[in-house]
Amino acid sequence: MIEGILEYLNQTEVIKTIVILGSMGLFFVGLFGLLSQRHIIKVFISIGIMEIAVFILFIGLSFQKGLTAPMLGDAHTSFVQMNDPIPHAMILTAIVIGMAVLALGISFAIEYYKLTGKNRLDQMNEMKH
Amino acid sequence: MILFDLFLILLIAYSVGFLYYGLYRNITARFQRRFGPPITQSFYDSIKFFSKEDSTSHGWMFYLGPIIMMTGAITTLFFIPFFYDRADFRGLSDYGNLFVVLYLLVVGPLGNALGVGVSGNPFAVMGVTRGLSRLFAMELPFYIAVIALISINQSADIATIASNQHETINAIAYPLLFIPALFAFIGMMGQSPFDVVGAPVEVYSGPAAEFSGKFLALLMSQGAIFSFAKLVLMVNLFLGGASGFMELLLKTFLLFLFVIAFGSLYGRFKTPQSIDFLLKVPTVIAIVGLILATWS
Amino acid sequence: MNIKRDISTTTLSSFTLSAFFVLTVLSILLQNIPQKLFSAGDSLLKLNSDQGVANAVTTVVVYFRGFDTLGEIAVLFIASFGIGLMLTSQTHGDKNKVKSNFMLQLGARLLFPIIILFGVYVMTFGHLSVGGGFQGGVIIASAVLLMFVSSNHFHLSHRVVEVLETFAGISYVMIGLIGLIVVDSFLGNFLPHNISQLGLLLSGGIVPIIYIIIGIKVGSEMSLIVQNMLQRSDND
Amino acid sequence: MRIINTLLAFLSLALLLSFWQDNFSFYVDLALLGLHGVVVGVKTSALSNVFALLIGFSWLMVSIASFASKKNTHSTLFLWLPILSLALFLIVYTVDYLLFFVGWEVMSIVSYFILAPTLTPKALLKYILFAMASALALLMGIVILYSGAETLLYIDANHGFTLLSQQMKMILVLLMLFAFFVKIGAIGFHYWLVDSYAQADDLFTTYLSAVLSKMGIYGLIIFLTQVVDIYSLDWKILAYTIAIIGVTTSVIATFKAIKEDELKRLLAYSSIAQLGYIVTILAIAGGMGGVLYHALIHTLVKLLLFINIASIIALTNRSKLSQLGGLIYRTPHSFVLLLIGIIVLAGMPPLAGFASKYLVYTSLLDAKMLLILSAVMFASVSGFLYVYKLIYGIYLGHPTHKSLESVDEVSKWYLIPQYIIALLLVIIGAFPALIVPTLNTVLVQLHVAPIPFETSTILESPLGAYNGFVVMSAFAVIFVLVLFFVWRVKSKAKNVKNRFDIAYCGEEPTSATPLHYGYGMGQELQRVGFIAIIWKQSSASFYNALTLMLFSLSTRLRKVYTGNLASNFNWLIIFAIFLLCWGLE
Amino acid sequence: MSSIYFIALPLLFGFATPIFAKFGKNGIAYSSVLLQASLFLLSIQLFVTMDKSIIEVIAIAPPLGIALILDNVSIFFVMLFTFLVLMGSLYYLKLREKNPYQNEAKFFILINMLLASAIGLVLSSDIFNIYVFFEIAGISAYILSAYRKTPKALEAGLKYLITGAIASIFLVFAIALIYLHLGTLNLALISQGFTALESDIKLLISLFLLIGFGLKVEIFPLNFWVTDIYEGSDAFTDAFFSAVVVKAYLFVFFHIVYLFLPHKEFTLFLLYLGAVSMLIAEIVALRQTNLKRLFAYSSLGQVGLLFVAFSMQEAVSITAGLYILLAHSLAKMVIFLSLASLFEKYKKEDISLFKEMNSPFLRNIIIISMLSLLGIPLLAGFVGKFLLLKSIAFSGLFVLLGLLVLASLIESVYYFKIIGFMFSKEERGEKFSLSTLQRAVLLTLTLGIILIGIAPFLISDFIATASSVMIDVRSYQNLLLGAN
């Protein structure tokens, strides 16, 4: 029974479907948070979740069943039957960038809160003319 | 030759004008059940005024006013032919046409306005204002009628228009043009109901009071000449013109009679009233007449 | 249950909108699950052995797409000093701070060099096995974080960090420019990189050097970010 | 600055006259700009020469008049005036719509900078917005025309125009008419004009009225004859519409002028009215001669009148009829000149005004537009009122202030140009056909029937001719004779020393008695129904409503940019969903 | 010489700031200006010597690796950006004496990073690399806009950052989908394979690209954040946002549109989006009183116009677009730089500042710039506007023509309101004159506007070539793939 389920789950199609469902679920959480939450930090969290969702989707879908990590090791002495290294590199870059932006955003938020005591998006109305 | 012709025209107009003026005073008097002065009285008056001194002056422009009026009247006269089929008594009408005459008709009032304006008399200005306001209202139906006539005859030449009426005179052929033109003409002649401009009672101290002596005489003389010129113009345009003196005198006199009779029957309109009236009734009639006459 | 009371309109509309959007995207994605096709990555894998680097991801990150990484380092650099700009205006004070336990301090101090060493290892062997400059840098920063958390007297020498950071940044670009001059390609691998050296520490030409530089850069930037944020949060 | 300006004006006029007959042309290919096959250039032609003459002459006259003020008060004006004139020359000499547009925009903008120091902010904004609307409509029209013709030259434009669809033709015509009507100040589009004229530098108003408004006429001539071929049967309705717009403009503007108290506003309305006549006869085939003639006369007379008024305003610092009066014996030269001006403006016979009016009337008669002719004559006769009001309010009647009793004649720099113009007007009055051969070359160029011409004294028309020389000499001779007669008749009038020596209800008025009545003349027309309607209605309410609408729209759309990110993200997702659904369709 | 210097040198400068900072207060400033000047000269030199497109390979040849492509259109942008940034920096040399930024070294780094990323966006031929430069430009801009650390500035920075982060999520999403379905990141290969994709995926990718770039290029429904950013930031930084950053994004966006999505339907949609964007921005600007915000709306309007120009997908309209872009960059640079000095002097940002302003020089150049923006003949703005209207009319889009003309009319309302204020007869404030250097900078920019307006043929050849190169997808593909 369990083996059957595992075998079913081990199909490429099914794995990818699960990845899509999961990542889009995560994306939904982030998007919902973005739309419904007003607190700046919560908004940043939502953005972070959305980013992660996209990363997971990308990595998950670019994974090929039966291929190994793109790295030479004891078992692999030549660069064949390996997974695509580019998504890894891209996601590595994107994660760092996303982290940097969010960190900067949080520092803005902290400073803004210090100056004005406001911490919500809908309170940010210095420029109402 | 032409100078002699012009001189004769002037002479005739001058005398007939005063004659008609005398008749006018008599006839109005009869309408009012009284006896008027002798017919020649006005003529003598004017001669007498010429010899009188004028008492006040408001500078040269003040003098120029009556002179311009006189000039306007005489020039108008010269550009209206007496007879449509005769080589004499055509004056200068070969050198001008109906448009020239229409505009020359306005020269007099404008000269008057200038002269009066400079006198500084507020009542005089009031009269001028009224005159000018009435002028445009009065001219509109008249112009429409004249335009229709020019268009019908395809000519702005007065003699041609007059001669084209040998079958039916325009007054009968185009009554809807004649009637408004007649209304306007009554106004032009300064008769009731459109005579508020020269109204002797309200504006007793108007132009006539400021001018005296030879200028008053000048005014009277130009009035006489101008009346006659306008009568001749009207006859030429609507009553078939004339080919002889008798016809001319008859037609002008009849027209004159009608005008003063009409004037005696009606009361006087106020300025806005007369403008309103002239812009409504005669104008509408004239437009209808214009459309009917030129529809093709 | 009173929907109106329990769930605000904002929540409801946000939920509807995001659900609708995500579901639409989801349906499109599910209908078009990508099939494996020959990609640029496969070609790069083939070329990888020329560089003499065992870890293909490292080659891609540092060499094939090294330009991206340079940009990424720039982003990190800018973000770091941006945060510095935002948060250094306050003097860091530790008045209300509870003095930390001696054992904690001691333990942290003991752990600190080990973590640093681990970070350096991850950095240095990035081209041979799992790991690399980013990971190593972050590990080093975590060591710094540990010190910050455990001790309220710990202070990162700004000068040292700055020197490290500057050195790393300049040398990264300079290596790129030297490549431009030597092998006529920016970030070109001008050092010997032979397949025969595959697996050795000194293999892959400039790749490990750059990755170490990246490690230093990331480590210092992240430490700075951590420092700035912590100092700032002291006053909250 | 003034001297340079005057020299430039003189130079341009001299150049123009010395090369009057020569043909000069210069073309540039614009393929470089991606406009392949597009050629722009300038070329002398009879039409452009005539308009250039107007520009050059007006420029010179205004420049001469500028020497009157001791200080260099019009420094901005004379910095810009050469540039403005250059733009105007460009407008008239170009053979294509691109350079025409360039000239047009430069004209508008340069005028803006000339007007800017004197106008109130509101009037200034009004001016430039109408100018911009005009320019943009022109640009759009040009571009549409260009898309049909694939060239911008006038000569090919007609062919391109015929290639357009019927709907586009209509839009194009409306756009172009709008552009030019705004400049002319046709009724409904004159909202900007009166204020600008009234508040502009007095000398610049002269230039505005004399020249800038003519550019609208020039544009209309080019567009209607070269591009649309207005005289063909296809465009009969359009021709009638234009004529009706023209005559409505004249009538309404005339009555608006009658009501005005301010000198320059009065003349501004008068300008609109006069241009209305031109527009009216522009629509009829035989009217082109009248258009040019009237444009010429109107330029001259407006130069005369505005310079006259400028001199009076400079002399007295007063610009309202109700504040002036009784200047006749203080400034007799100015009085006589203004008299000549208003006689021409009113179109009275011996002077040049009659000749142009004559052509207007006869061409309308010839085209059988009798009702329109009636309206034109009505407007023309009504014009007497404001014309008289003008001369009365300034020169006749009583001075309204002590300062007016001690002024001297205006500066000779004002009088010189006026005398030149007056002389021209008298000469043209006596020899009305003197300029006909010149005009005929233009008419031939425009492929319309020329005005018959025999001698310079007789102005011919299909409905009869009149001899201007005889009319004038008859008038003059009779005038002299009457004068002589009156002079000879013995009299010894004494001049009144006291201006209050008038027959005033038998009383002796004092200085406290209001005697300067005439400035308000025409007010009683209020009681005449349709005049009251004209006076009450104003396009201002329409434009105000438009502005209000636009501004409330602005307020509403501002909500897009509230900066409330939270709600904006909702809109973003809605937009995305919309696009998704739209794309999936 | 190589195009890589445009990116590498500013980055190097940025990393090496601590060394330059050792040379005292002015060291960093002067070295930054020196760097920008040399970059500008380099771009001129490249332009003069360039006879065909230059492809600069980084590490490994395309399509596998990243390459920078310097063709006729990108050299245009490179020259423009280096020139504008140089002018801005020169202007700041004097501005800083009165109103310096705190911690100036960082400020100069940001400006240089902005320059590097803008040029990188234009030159790069790899979509992920474009994303990286997108982020560098973004993050520099966030900090620049929050730099003053006032509540307004921080609010602006936060808003900018949040929208930027969302934009980058969607962009990454799009890039991920592209890579998953096409297996490449090279623009040329993507453009070859894109048409063969499933239509649904195409839709998704184009939607995400539209949102990702749309948020940055300030197109109508996605430009809600822009005005707040402009208002909150310093006028001096606004100059860069308006003249440099947006232009770089715009070029990349349309470059990608030409390469991937040259559908008639899609571009028609963009066309009307641009027109609506312009119209709405101009209408809203009518009631605006804050100057920075007002010119932000004006920027939005001009971006809408540029959108229309580039969406037409014809060589002529792109020529028009490049002219408009050039004119707009120059004019906005002049306006915002002048505003920076004026704000500093008169301590107000209200529109009534112009009533108080007492500086004939500034008045004249601001007027010239605004007239150029309005498209008055003999100034730079006219050439582009005329060409654009012409090409619209030739395409038979007369409704669009009407919309644009209407928008221009509304635009003229508030521009002339401002100009009217400058001529107001109210009492003026203190006399204000700029330093010689600042005058020279503004004068150079203004002369550029006038020169292009009077003699557009000076650059018309170049721009026409640039536009034909920009639209020529085939030769771009050949260039990029043929180098393999």
Per-residue pLDDT tens digits for E123-147: 998 999 999 999 999 999 999 999 8
**Angle between the N-to-C axes of helices E380-394 and E436-454, in degrees from 0 to 180, rounded to the nearest 10:** 30
Inter-chain touch D565–A35, beta carbons under 8 Å: no
Q: Which residue in B74, B277, B117, B104 sits closest to B192, CA to CA? A: B277
D37 contacts chain A (CB < 8 A): no
Chain D stretch 343-372, residues whose beta carbon is closer than 8 A to a beta carbon of chain B: 346-349, 354, 357-358, 361-362, 365, 368, 370-371
pLDDT tens-digit series, residues B136-153? 788 888 888 888 888 888
Structure token pair of residue B6: 């012009």
3+ Cβ–Cβ pairs closer than 8 Å linking C and A: yes
What one-character-per-residue DSSP string does B30-84 give? HHTTS----TTHHHHHHHHHHHSPP-EE--HHHHHHHHHHHHHHHHHHHTS-S-S
What's E100's DSSP letter? Answer: P
Phi/psi class of residue C131: alpha, beta or left (left: φ > 0; alpha: ψ in -120 to 50)?
left
Residue keyed to tokens 């007669």: D485
pLDDT tens-digit series, residues C117-143? 999 999 888 888 888 888 899 999 999
Distance from CA of C67 to the nearest CA of A (A): 11
Residue keyed to tokens 């700029």: E434
**Angle between the N-to-C axes of helices B175-188 and B271-294, in degrees from 0 to 180, rounded to the nearest 10:** 150
What's B213's DSSP letter? Answer: T
Segment E42-66 shows an average pLDDT of 84
3+ Cβ–Cβ pairs closer than 8 Å linking B and E: no
Chain D stretch 90-109, residues whose beta carbon is closer than 8 A to a beta carbon of chain E: 98, 101-102, 105-106, 109
Chain D stretch 117-136, residues whose beta carbon is closer than 8 A to a beta carbon of chain E: 117, 121, 124-125, 128-129, 132-133, 136
Inter-chain touch D98–E371, beta carbons under 8 Å: no
Nearest to E18 among C42, C162, C174 (CB): C162
C24 contacts chain D (CB < 8 A): yes
D464 contacts chain B (CB < 8 A): yes
Residue D43: its pLDDT value, please? 87
Nearest to E58 among C44, C168, C187 (CB): C187
D336 contacts chain B (CB < 8 A): no
Q: What is the full per-residue pLDDT of chain D (585 aa) written as tens digits?
A: 778 888 888 888 888 888 888 888 888 887 777 677 778 888 888 888 899 999 999 999 988 888 887 665 666 778 888 899 999 999 999 988 888 999 999 999 999 988 888 888 888 888 999 999 999 999 999 888 888 878 888 888 888 888 888 888 888 999 999 999 998 888 888 888 888 888 888 888 898 888 988 899 999 988 888 888 888 878 888 888 899 999 999 999 998 888 888 889 999 999 999 999 999 988 888 888 889 999 999 999 999 999 999 888 888 888 888 888 788 888 888 999 999 999 999 888 888 889 888 888 888 888 888 888 888 988 888 888 888 888 888 888 788 877 887 888 888 888 999 999 999 999 998 888 888 888 888 888 888 888 888 888 888 887 778 888 888 888 888 889 888 888 777 666 666 666 676 666 666 777 777 777 767 777 777 777 778 888 888 888 888 899 899 989 988 888 878 777 778 888 888 888 888 888 877
| Distance separating alpha carbons of residues D198 and D266, to the nearest angstrom | 9
What mean pLDDT, rounded, does chain E reach?
A: 88
Per the CB < 8 A criterion, the answer to whether E206 and A85 are in contact is: no
Inter-chain touch E374–D146, beta carbons under 8 Å: no
Name D287's bridge partners: none
Residue D322: its pLDDT value, please? 83
| Terminal alpha carbon distance of chain A | 67
Chain B CA closest to residue D466 = B96
CA angle at E279 for the pair E277 and E281, rounded to the nearest 5° = 65
Per the CB < 8 A criterion, the answer to whether D219 and D245 are in contact is: no
Inter-chain touch E201–C28, beta carbons under 8 Å: yes
E149 contacts chain A (CB < 8 A): yes
| Distance separating alpha carbons of residues E254 and E300, to the nearest angstrom | 17
D463 contacts chain B (CB < 8 A): yes
Residue E346: its pLDDT value, please? 85
- Residues present in chain D in total: 585
| Distance separating alpha carbons of residues E56 and E61, to the nearest angstrom | 9
D327 contacts chain B (CB < 8 A): no
C205 contacts chain E (CB < 8 A): no
| Terminal alpha carbon distance of chain E | 21
Segment C54-78 shows an average pLDDT of 88
Inter-chain touch E319–D34, beta carbons under 8 Å: yes
By three-state DSSP, how is residue E396 classified?
coil
Name E57's bridge partners: E67
Peptide bond into E63 cis (omega under 30): yes
How many beta-carbon pairs under 8 angstroms link A with D?
21
Inter-chain touch C68–E132, beta carbons under 8 Å: yes
The percentage of residues in chain B with a pLDDT greater than 90, rounded to a whole number, is 0
Distance from CA of A52 to the nearest CA of E (A): 9
CATH number of A2-65+85-121: 1.10.287.3510
Residue E168 Cα to chain centre, angstroms: 19
Q: Which residue in D312, D383, D376 sits closest to D345, CA to CA? A: D383
Residue E252 pLDDT level (bands cut at 50, 70, 90)? very high
pLDDT of residue C182 exceeding 90, the answer is no
Note the maximum CA span of chain A: 68
Residue C234 pLDDT level (bands cut at 50, 70, 90)? very low
Residue D464 Cα to chain centre, angstroms: 29
Chain B stretch 73-102, residues whose beta carbon is closer than 8 A to a beta carbon of chain D: 74-75, 78-79, 92, 95-100
3+ Cβ–Cβ pairs closer than 8 Å linking E and D: yes
Phi/psi class of residue D502: alpha, beta or left (left: φ > 0; alpha: ψ in -120 to 50)?
beta
Tell me, yes or no, whether C22 lies in a domain: no
Q: Which residue in C38, D102, D148, E61 sits closest to D93, CA to CA? A: D102
| Number of domains chain C is built from | 1
* Range(s) of the domain holding residue B156: 2-294
Per the CB < 8 A criterion, the answer to whether D458 and D465 are in contact is: yes
The percentage of residues in chain E with a pLDDT greater than 90, rounded to a whole number, is 38
| Distance separating alpha carbons of residues E368 and D188, to the nearest angstrom | 31
Residue D297: its pLDDT value, please? 92
Inter-chain touch A31–C18, beta carbons under 8 Å: yes
Inter-chain touch E204–C172, beta carbons under 8 Å: no
Distance from CA of D577 to the nearest CA of C (A): 6
Inter-chain touch A35–D570, beta carbons under 8 Å: yes
Residue D420: its pLDDT value, please? 92
Distance from CA of D584 to the nearest CA of C (A): 10
Distance from CA of E399 to the nearest CA of C (A): 33
Distance from CA of D46 to the nearest CA of E (A): 27
B47 contacts chain D (CB < 8 A): no
Q: How far is CA D486 from CA B64, B107, B207, B219, in A?
A: 10, 19, 18, 12
* Range(s) of the domain holding residue C132: 34-234
3+ Cβ–Cβ pairs closer than 8 Å linking A and E: yes
Burial of D23 (C-beta count, 10 Å sphere; 0-12/13-18/19+): exposed
| Distance separating alpha carbons of residues E63 and E67, to the nearest angstrom | 8
| Number of domains chain B is built from | 1
pLDDT tens-digit series, residues C200-215? 777 778 888 888 999 9
The amino acid sitting at A58 is F
Peptide bond into B193 cis (omega under 30): yes
pLDDT tens-digit series, residues B190-247? 777 777 666 554 444 455 566 777 778 888 888 888 888 888 888 888 888 888 888 8
The full set of domain ranges for chain E reads 5-482
A87 contacts chain E (CB < 8 A): yes
Chain B CA closest to residue D518 = B125
For chain C, how big is the Rg over CA atoms in Å?
Answer: 23
- Spell out which residues of chain C touch residue D584, defining contact as CB-CB under 8 Å: 24
- Residues present in chain E in total: 484
Q: Which chains touch B (3 or more CB pairs under 8 A)?
A: D
| Beta-strand relationship, E66-70 and B56-57 | unpaired
Per the CB < 8 A criterion, the answer to whether B101 and D349 are in contact is: no
Residue C235 pLDDT level (bands cut at 50, 70, 90)? very low
Per the CB < 8 A criterion, the answer to whether B81 and B61 are in contact is: no
Inter-chain touch E59–C188, beta carbons under 8 Å: yes
pLDDT of residue E484 exceeding 50, the answer is no
What one-character-per-residue DSSP string does E24-77 give? -HHHHHHHHHHHHHHHHHHHHHHHHH-SS-EEEEESS-TTTSEEEEE-HHHHHH
- Spell out which residues of chain C touch residue D581, defining contact as CB-CB under 8 Å: 24
Give the list of residues 6+ apart from residue A117 with CB closer than 8 angstroms, or none. Answer: none
Residue D218: its pLDDT value, please? 92
Per the CB < 8 A criterion, the answer to whether E462 and E76 are in contact is: yes
How many beta-carbon pairs under 8 angstroms link A with E?
104
Nearest to D378 among B113, B120, B140 (CB): B140
pTM comes to 0.90
